[in-house]
Structure 1
Amino acid sequence: MTLIRGTIGLIRRGHVLPPIAFISSPNSNKNEITNSININKQLCRHYSKFEITKNLEIISNDKINSKISNLQLSNPPNKPMVILLPWLLAKRKHILKYASFYLDQGFDVLNVECSPWQVLWPLKGVKLVADDILTFLEKNPLCKPLVLHGFSVGGYLWSEVMVKALSDQARYQPIFDRIIGQVWDSAVDVAEITIGLPKAVFPNNQMMQRALKQYMMYHLKTFDQVATTHYLRASQIFHTNPLIRTPALFYVSKTDPIGSLKANEAARENWESLGIKVNFKCFEKSSHVGHYRKYPKEYMAELYSFINELGLVQYPEKVKVQL
């Protein structure tokens, strides 16, 4: 119990270890080393960022000359926008390697991040972030078309956006009608949260992983009304996807215990039964949110093909260099 209390104290104070770094090591293969070099090139590129809230920001090729009031931009961009929903504690350089694909194609990137604490206590955390996403999109209708690209727990965050929208569907449906495609990388279901969150917070410390997993199990049993009920509702909404019928691309791995193949296949079957076109890329052996690191060319080829089918590839030569 002392170890568990200490673990939660670390989360609350933000003293947590970062996710596994996607850098080369003595055991790195050629693809991983090449990809690390590409990441460094991306970090050197020029881009601007515009903070909306502590959880939301816009990343753009252009300088954003705008003021913001109540989440409304005075001069909103009139261009495609990808809503990027990274995994917990994602490093900046890892976010940028995905953002750069969309920036190269003329998109702006709405980057949305949340903390482990916000996931543990959704009423004061993730749900408030979801409200801000919905309000921002509603008040800035020129940001279109929209594409979703979510990783891991980002699927849960987006589900909370849909939960909020369903409270007044007539009002919010026009936002979802602007979404023309969705990409889900290692999406995590509620059943896997006790595995995923400990590994995200303490990727290199198995003792702390076990301690946090024990606390998560306690948390789910004890805080049903303020946590578990909301996880289950969000999971139901993700699988039924009542607001979006646009094409989807899933990235999964046979060896990922967090965003498991089984859970993602269940979502795929549900969505296809609703008439949603689903592209499903399953890798043989890659870690959670590590598919691009392990298989960069295959990952990028799938993403390029998908975005091209949506009619949003403006500069194909910038993608083909990486294939």
Structure 2
Amino acid sequence: MSSGLATASGPTIHKISKSITLYQNNLSAAPAPPAGTARPLVLLFPWLGARPQALLRYWQLYLKAGFDMLTVESNASQFLWPRWGLQYGAEILEVLQREGFDSRPLLVHAFSIGGYTFTQLLVHMSREPKRYLSLTDRIKGHIYDSLVFGSLEKMAIGLGRTILPQLEFLVRWAALFYFWLFKSYTVDYFDVGIATFRNSPVKAPALFFYCENDAMCDHEGLGTMLEEWKRQGREVWSRKWTESTHAGHLRRHPEEYLSTLDDFLQHLNIRAHM
């Protein structure tokens, strides 16, 4: 881990790797964890190309609540060549089992394609359940904001809108052709990931934020999966809007978003101080 850099706003920033950053809570106003317990850690998986300014409100929210935060960025190459995504997932799991991380209660908050990146962790956890049993049990809740869900075309739309919005149509069709051409290296991996997510080894309560006008999410299909989870006995929370913005629900609907999130965190009871 690189040396820490203290910021004016309080947290100390540690660059663990090029794409993984720890924000260590030094805010004087932040509640301290109870004696003898580890400070809870948020695993934040941003949307593709998310800028620091866009994530600032989430950082402030969680740091103020007493969490430390591990931001795990995604790269389009990990999506286009899923083997790299799986390798990246293994790297993240290795970090979470290091000293200083290995006893922390965990809260996952994944946006858009960040849900895909987190799914790569789930694939490893499903394949080696005994190895990752302790880590699985440490995940106390998982939150999905604007999950990319549905057909390959939904995935291709997401790539077009994030990589080259001006040429979204061309990127979409190029991506679909690419997926068809390299099916055994892409689509087959996606199918494994989708099946793993549907049967996630993480049984902790889940919260989904989504909307009906999101071109990157089949909201009806997602709703069906959430009902399946409920029938399996899983605890599922959700907040759906008729109209909103992909990965922009907090900006569009701040009161509802924050109220739902706060209720969920209160229910999980993992904040440093309630």
In the TM superposition, residue 313 of structure 1 has moved relative to its aligned partner by 4.1
How far apart, CA to CA, are the structure 2 residues paired with 1:190 and 1:44?
A: 42
User: Counterpart of 2:44?
Assistant: 84
User: Counterpart of 1:212?
Assistant: 171
User: Counterpart of 1:67?
Assistant: none
1:1-323 alignment to 2 at 5 Å? 45-62=9-26, 78-124=38-84, 126-140=85-99, 141-189=101-149, 191=151, 192-203=154-165, 205=166, 208-241=167-200, 243-314=201-272
Name stretches of at least 5 consecutive residues in structure 2 with no aligned partner.
Answer: 1-6, 28-36
Three-state SS of the structure 1 residue aligned to 2:210 is strand
Alignment length (residue pairs): 256
How far apart, CA to CA, are the structure 2 residues paired with 1:310 and 1:200?
A: 33
Distance 1:129 1:96, change over 3 A: farther
What TM-score do the two structures reach when normalised by structure 1? 0.75
What TM-score do the two structures reach when normalised by structure 2? 0.88
Distance 1:195 1:98, change over 3 A: same
- 8 A Cα contact 2:45 2:111, kept in partner: yes
- 8 A Cα contact 2:150 2:217, kept in partner: no
Name stretches of at least 5 consecutive residues in structure 1 with no aligned partner.
Answer: 1-42, 64-76, 317-323
How far apart, CA to CA, are the structure 1 residues paired with 2:245 and 2:156?
A: 17
In the TM superposition, residue 314 of structure 1 has moved relative to its aligned partner by 4.7
Distance 1:310 1:106, change over 3 A: same
Distance 1:163 1:282, change over 3 A: same
In the TM superposition, residue 263 of structure 1 has moved relative to its aligned partner by 3.0
User: Structure 1 vs Structure 2: percent identity of aligned residues?
Assistant: 28
User: Counterpart of 1:35?
Assistant: none
- 8 A Cα contact 2:46 2:73, kept in partner: yes
Paired residue type of 1:133? I
Give a deviation string over 1:8-35, Cα, whole Å, max 9, x none.
xxxxxxxxxxxxxxxxxxxxxxxxxxxx
How far apart, CA to CA, are the structure 2 residues paired with 1:93 and 1:314?
A: 25
In the TM superposition, residue 190 of structure 1 has moved relative to its aligned partner by 5.3
Q: Which structure would you say has the larger Rg?
A: 1
Greater per-residue helix proportion: 1
How far apart, CA to CA, are the structure 1 residues paired with 2:273 and 2:137?
A: 25
